[in-house]
Structure 1
Amino acid sequence: MMRILLFILAAVPLVSFANVYHIPQDGGRLVGKIQEHVVAKGDYFQTISKQYNIGILELMESNPGVDPFLPTPGSRLLIPTQMLLPDVPHNGIVINLAELRLYYFPKGGKLVHVFPVGIGRIGRETPEMVTKVKSRIPNPSWTPPASLRKEHFELHGERYPPVVPAGPDNPLGKFAIQLSHGDGSYLIHGTNKDFGIGMRVSAGCIRLNPNDIEWLFNQVKYKDPVTIINQTVKVSSEPNGDHLIEVHSPLSKSHSDNNEVIELKREVVAFIGQDAIDYTKANDALLAQSGIPVNIKK
């Protein structure tokens, strides 16, 4: 199925528009609104995700049971453009691997820009980290590590060159942001292919749509903070009295494991255990893993 999906994605034109949300100034963490999309003839999940600049796996989470290649014309899909802000400092770049989303918090604390990202595939997972921007690289060249060259040859019978110069054949695209973590090999970058955004397909780096990385590249500066987390479950007690939970499918650790168990952190367990929480609603949300905030107030 993955090969078929990648083939189809290559035929979709590049279109991306930043999703910009106002950050609540009353201490709440809920941003955005759920949208509905009426499926037109010829629509499929990748064209729809491009239209709303969301990830394809996000769209699949919020619309379980719908064929991503042949959704029924006239049917209504939920567009997951409402979310709880991650429970980390809202400063600079924040990437939540479980959501396959990048949040950019500019100074001022009033707006957040949200983009879908591609992350490391199974076996080459993107690590969690708290780091900074080390450098900004326009027109980057790409030096595939020896392990990746060996893996590519074994899988495809083709050899990567030691260095891929800047240009249309460079998989990093036109812009790259180097992170200070480790040896500096982790990048936030663009792509020369029109697939992989909102999916687990990279060798560990974070991949954005070309228009998105160009915008982000021009915003960030040297030593800006970058936080990468894996927050499967987000919760919030909102100022209006709502108790919200947002649950995403946990990232698989192996190709054979399609039923990863959500590991609930202590603070999430404490949240669900409050007297004001309807446990049945909470349990349903944990099972559904829709990626959409749900009010579990009694």
Structure 2
Amino acid sequence: MNAKPYLMTHPESRIIGEDFNYTVKDGDYFQAIAEKFNVGFLALIDANPDLDPFLPKVGARMVIPSKMLLPYTPHEGIVINLPELRLYYFSPDSDVVHVFPIGIGKQGLSTPKTKSYIGEKREDPVWRPTKEMQARYLAEHGKPLAKEVPAGPDNPFGKYALRLGTSVYLIHGSNQRIGIGMRSSSGCIRLFDDDIEWLYEHVPLNTVVRIVDQPIKMSYELDGKHIEIHRPLSDGESLNDKKYQRVLKNFVQSEEEQAILAPLLDKPKGIVVSL
């Protein structure tokens, strides 16, 4: 895999990329397809709800979700939108944004919403689990967790790590292929090894990092209105809740638009839809 560049074609447009179809081949499964096209595992599931992610039917056509609306935030540095499980890096000297699937914190171990910066870059990082991690591991497994894990195949940070400010939170690689594009970490942001290596090489220290929570993204474009909807972070939340309805109130107005929107609120597909 390589960093996936998207051209921002117009300063007032927030649409980048294009979805495309892929025909399932013998031996395919969603994790392998996600890695092949550098998209998230859950993103593939949501975009293709009628396919079995472990045994998709050979010959079936599936959507690879590569069209997206940029989040509502300044387009600079790193932007992480938690519900869509994506990291955006806006190149400072061009109209290109690179987009990466990420793993984020599990329920109860959430990745924080914050504005920060890249405070440290580390190659072959040592993993030192926090006291909370050690206590949780002891409770779950009945044996202590190592207080320090050096670089190597057993290190869950992978080969590279970028620290958010001076915090305990890192953007890092992983020693496991599965978990990217899912809620899988203890709060840090995980990437595929090739992706974190690219970021390590291209993102300078002090680059601004914004972590946001935007399950609904909307845009007025030259060809009309577009919307992209993802699952909310909390299992207890519904996109039909009042706070989301207030966001949608002035954007979705006609009965035709509401008819298009209604099923997406119940089962978000995470793909850009025209209204």
TM over 0.5: yes
State the aligned residue count. Answer: 272
Distance apart, 1:195 and its partner CA = 1.6
Tell me, which stretches of 5 or more residues in structure 1 are unaligned?
1-15
Distance apart, 1:126 and its partner CA = 0.3
1:279 matches 2:258: yes
- Equivalent in the alignment of 1:69: 54
Q: CA RMSD in A?
A: 1.6
In 2: Cα distance, 1:19 partner to 1:172 partner? 22
Distance apart, 1:265 and its partner CA = 6.7
In 2: Cα distance, 1:289 partner to 1:57 partner? 11
1:245 matches 2:227: yes
Listed one character per residue, the Cα deviations across residues 243-266 of structure 1 (whole Å, up to 9, x for unaligned) are: 00100111234xxx5xx3024174
Percent identity, aligned pairs only, is 42
- Equivalent in the alignment of 1:6: none
Q: Is this contact kept in 2: 1:134–1:223, CA < 8 A? A: yes
Distance apart, 1:292 and its partner CA = 0.5
Out of 160, 176, 200, the residue aligned to residue 183 of structure 2 is 200
Q: Is this contact kept in 2: 1:175–1:190, CA < 8 A? A: yes
The verdict on how the C-alpha distance between 1:107 and 1:265 changes in structure 2, with shifts beyond 3 A counting, is farther
In 1: Cα distance, 2:143 partner to 2:54 partner? 30
Out of 96, 103, 113, the residue aligned to residue 98 of structure 2 is 113
Listed one character per residue, the Cα deviations across residues 27-86 of structure 1 (whole Å, up to 9, x for unaligned) are: 111111111110111111111111101110000000013111111000100110111111
Q: Counterpart of 1:169 in 2: which secondary structure?
A: coil
* Aligned residue runs from structure 1 range 1-298, under 5 A: 16-180=1-165, 184-240=167-223, 242-253=224-235, 260-262=237-239, 263-264=243-244, 266-273=246-253, 278-296=257-275
Listed one character per residue, the Cα deviations across residues 189-212 of structure 1 (whole Å, up to 9, x for unaligned) are: 001122211111100000000110
Q: Is this contact kept in 2: 1:117–1:208, CA < 8 A? A: yes
The verdict on how the C-alpha distance between 1:277 and 1:229 changes in structure 2, with shifts beyond 3 A counting, is farther
In 2: Cα distance, 1:44 partner to 1:216 partner? 27
Distance apart, 1:17 and its partner CA = 2.8
Runs (4+) of structure 1 exceeding 4 A deviation are: none
Tell me, which stretches of 5 or more residues in structure 2 are unaligned?
none
Q: Counterpart of 1:164 in 2: which secondary structure?
A: coil
In 1: Cα distance, 2:96 partner to 2:142 partner? 47
Distance apart, 1:267 and its partner CA = 4.1
State the TM-score, normalized to the length of structure 2. Answer: 0.94
Which amino acid is 1:236 matched to? S
In 2: Cα distance, 1:189 partner to 1:58 partner? 20
Q: Is this contact kept in 2: 1:39–1:72, CA < 8 A? A: yes
- Equivalent in the alignment of 1:10: none
State the TM-score, normalized to the length of structure 1. Answer: 0.87
Which amino acid is 1:155 matched to? E
In 1: Cα distance, 2:79 partner to 2:34 partner? 21
In 1: Cα distance, 2:112 partner to 2:173 partner? 19
Listed one character per residue, the Cα deviations across residues 94-117 of structure 1 (whole Å, up to 9, x for unaligned) are: 011100000110113511100000
The verdict on how the C-alpha distance between 1:191 and 1:105 changes in structure 2, with shifts beyond 3 A counting, is same
Q: Counterpart of 1:108 in 2: which secondary structure?
A: coil
Q: Counterpart of 1:264 in 2: which secondary structure?
A: helix
The verdict on how the C-alpha distance between 1:172 and 1:265 changes in structure 2, with shifts beyond 3 A counting, is farther
Which amino acid is 2:189 matched to? I
Which amino acid is 1:250 matched to? P
Distance apart, 1:158 and its partner CA = 3.3
In 1: Cα distance, 2:255 partner to 2:18 partner? 24
